[in-house]
Amino acid sequence: MSVGTRSAHGVSEACAGGLAELGIDPDQLPDGLVVADEQGRVICFNAAAARITALPAENALGQRLEKALPLEDLEGRRWWQLTDPYGGLAIRRRQPERNLLLPGGREVLVSAQYVRAEPTGPVHRVVVSLRDTEARRRTERSHAELIATVAHELRSPLTSVKGFTATLLAKWERFTDDQKRLMLETVDADADRVTRLIAELLDISRIDSGRLEVRRQPVDIGAAVGRHIQAYVAAGLAADRFLLRLEQPLPMLWADPDKIDQVLSNLLENAVRHGEGTVTIDITPTASPREGEDTGTSVTVSDEGPGIPEESMNRVFTRFWRGSKRGGTGLGLYIVKGIVEAHGGTITVGRGSQGGAEFRFTLPVSAPAYLS
């Protein structure tokens, strides 16, 4: 049976036209789409389906569905014989998503919808959705890495807390006040470390699910940076380790002050810990295409250390990236990027004028319309 004129993109003109009426380009869909007509012949085989199955679309069009998609379940049974879409139950509307195998053993996620002209009439179309399992495997690997990292990071401070508290409880009278204070200060620091890790995990959960809340209010970004510098100086770093340069006048910045502090804390800590020489912070307005208007505030943090290798630049904001120096969870910059983007801003990394790492983030100036 003819499937009509074929388009250049692996769908019959009839199928393409029907989807076009819905404003859908089948080749722009991220999942594989395969449609069979009432005779069980393929009339639609989009680009994603061709990629997932490694079958050219022109070879699939006009073929019987079971030949174009010779799927088997994990026990080696032929799926189309099991489900029998054209001769099975007249009330069946769909097949839920499940793992099936293509020839060669490649695993895919498959679901099917049965389109009937009447509630119990014959099947008019079978619409099959294919999803590559590689994306799911990457997600599972990422979750496994996250669990392993968290377990490792929690074990060290909790072991310390347990050791010191057990020792103090068992041998309290044997220690001097100074020894007790030292052990309790260590316990306190380790408790802070656990608290920070839990906060990072909550941030990641909110970023990944799109639920990171931004409570905007006017923020003096120069004063915020100044407070961080003062804290480092109070902790013993030389004041000339930092150079703060502000281009005045700065426009009003609407942002979440706590989250901006989190961004600044991470970037400055990285520059101090992993960089060398002077840590320079430049705060400037970003210009609008229209003269006389500002559209954002830009903050650049750079150091004079060895910088980040070129081959690592594209991985800096991914989970677990730690650079050449180990330590920490490797989640900080991933969270920083999520916070900046939640504000509608952007963040980049590059090499500074003195050779070190340079991080630059830009935030919108004004509150969005719904806050006005």
Task: State the pLDDT at residue 370.
Answer: 40
342 and 365 assigned to the same domain? yes
User: DSSP 3-state assignment of 89?
Assistant: coil
User: Is the same domain home to 69 and 166?
Assistant: no
Side-chain-side CA neighbours of residue 64 (13 Å): 8
Structural domain includes residue 7: no
CATH code, domain with 244: 3.30.565.10
Whether the Cβ atoms of residue 64 and residue 3 lie closer than 8 Å to each other: no
- Do 91 and 203 lie in a common domain? no
Q: Which two tokens stand for residue 339?
A: 């916070």
Rg of the chain in Å (alpha carbons): 29
- Cβ neighbours for 340, distance < 8 A, ≥ 6 positions apart: 263, 346, 347, 361, 363
Cross-sheet strand order for the sheet of 294-302? 242-246, 279-287, 294-302, 357-364, 346-351
Q: pLDDT at position 155, please?
A: 85
Domain co-membership, 162 together with 247: no
Q: What predicted TM-score, i.e. pTM, was given to this entire model?
A: 0.60
The whole domain housing 100 covers 13-132
Judge whether 3 lies within some domain: no
The answer on 313 and 239 residing in a single domain is: yes
Q: What is the pLDDT of residue 3?
A: 47
Residues 255 and 347 in one domain: yes
Final residue of a domain: which of 132, 166, 193? Answer: 132
Residue 278 forms part of a structural domain = yes
Tell me what pLDDT residue 66 has. Answer: 94
Query: pLDDT value at position 27?
Result: 79
Residue 354 resides in a domain: yes
Judge whether 2 lies within some domain.
no
pLDDT value at residue 260:
95
- CATH code of the domain containing 21: 3.30.450.20
Do 273 and 366 lie in one domain? The reply is yes
Q: How far apart are CA 266 and CA 337, in angstroms?
A: 11
| Whether 345 and 285 share a structural domain | yes
What CATH number does the domain containing 176 carry?
1.10.287.130
Asked whether residue 140 falls in the same domain as residue 127, the answer is: no
- Identify which of 79, 80, 92, 82 has the alpha carbon closest to the alpha carbon of residue 121: 92
Q: How far is CA 261 from CA 66, 109, 180, 265, 266, in A?
A: 58, 43, 33, 6, 9
Q: DSSP character for 355?
A: S
CA–CA distance, 67 with 70 (Å, rounded to integer): 5
pLDDT tens track of the chain, all 372 residues? Answer: 444 444 445 555 555 555 555 566 777 788 899 999 999 999 999 999 999 999 999 999 999 999 999 999 888 889 999 999 998 888 888 899 888 999 888 889 999 999 998 888 899 999 999 988 776 676 677 777 777 777 877 888 889 899 999 999 999 999 999 999 999 999 998 898 888 888 888 888 888 777 888 899 999 999 999 999 999 999 899 999 999 999 988 888 899 999 999 999 999 999 998 888 999 999 999 865 444 455 789 999 999 988 888 878 888 888 777 765 555 677 889 999 999 999 989 999 999 888 889 999 999 876 544 443
**Residue 201 falls within a domain, yes or no?**
yes
Q: What pLDDT is attached to residue 24?
A: 67
Q: Supply the pLDDT for residue 226.
A: 95
- Domain count within the chain: 3
Assess if residue 275 is contained within a domain. Answer: yes
